[in-house]
């Protein structure tokens, strides 16, 4: 398949992650939302304003925005130079891109990231965080375990 198809897959996944992340944040941060315990000491819906990065590590906002921009540009560069990458690798990059973009928008608009899911009473996350983690897994699995596979599943089948 053509490089247009690979770009379409990347855009579809990235845009889907971005808008779904923003929708879930809107749902959970509405005034009518009530925090709920789902599984005692394991999972809880909460409202958390994360002004840092993962695990609330305090880092200046401008630095997180610049770092995110560098990551986003890096992902676009990887896709530009290698449109024939494996499907799982492309999807992984798209998941990271959409999630990073969603969290960056929060930082720009609200000065914090809206997290709404608390695990084990310690770490609050959102859909974007989950997609970033899942995307990194897809990317590293695609680049390490399947890199030398004789017949990888790619998006570009012209060659």
- Res. 23 pLDDT band, cuts 50 70 90: very high
Lowest-pLDDT choice from 3-7, 76-80, 113-117, 130-134: 3-7
Given this model, what pLDDT does residue 32 score?
A: 75
Q: What is the pLDDT of residues 93-151, one digit of tens each?
A: 999 999 999 999 999 999 999 999 888 878 889 999 999 999 999 999 878 876 655 44
Q: Measure the CA–CA gap between 10 and 66, rounded to whole angstroms.
A: 22
1 pLDDT above the threshold of 60: no
Other residues' Cβ atoms within 10 Å of the Cβ of residue 152: 15
80-119 CB burial, b ≥16 within 10 A, e <16: eeebebbbbbbbbbbbbbbbbbbbbbbbeeeeebbbbbbe
Residues 6+ apart with CB under 8 A from 26: none
18 pLDDT above the threshold of 80: yes
pTM of the prediction?
A: 0.85
More confident residue, 22 or 41: 22
9 pLDDT above the threshold of 60: yes
Given this model, what pLDDT does residue 40 score?
A: 73
Given this model, what pLDDT does residue 3 score?
A: 73
Q: Pick from 121, 148, 72: which is nearest to 80 by CA?
A: 72
Task: Please report, for the chain, the start and end positions of each structural domain, with discontinuous segments joined by +.
Answer: 3-32+40-144
Residue 129 contacts residue 99 (beta carbons within 8 Å) = yes
> What's the chain's average pLDDT?
85
Question: How many whole angstroms from its chain centre is CA 34?
Answer: 25
């Amino acid at each position: 398949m053509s490089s247009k198809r690979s770009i379409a897959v990347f855009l579809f996944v990235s845009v889907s992650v971005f808008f779904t992340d923003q929708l879930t944040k809107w749902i959970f941060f509405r005034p009518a939302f009530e925090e709920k315990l789902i599984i005692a000491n394991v999972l809880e819906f909460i409202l958390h304003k994360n002004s840092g990065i993962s695990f609330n590590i305090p880092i200046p906002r401008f630095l997180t925005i610049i770092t995110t921009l560098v990551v986003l540009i890096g992902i676009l560069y990887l896709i530009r130079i290698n449109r024939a990458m494996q499907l799982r690798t492309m999807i992984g990059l798209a998941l990271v891109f959409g999630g990073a973009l969603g969290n960056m928008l929060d930082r720009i608009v609200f000065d914090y990231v809206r997290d709404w899911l608390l695990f084990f009473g310690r770490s609050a996350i959102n859909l974007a965080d989950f997609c970033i983690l899942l995307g990194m897994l897809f990317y590293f699995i695609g680049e390490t375990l399947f890199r030398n596979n004789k017949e990888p599943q790619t998006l570009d089948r012209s060659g």
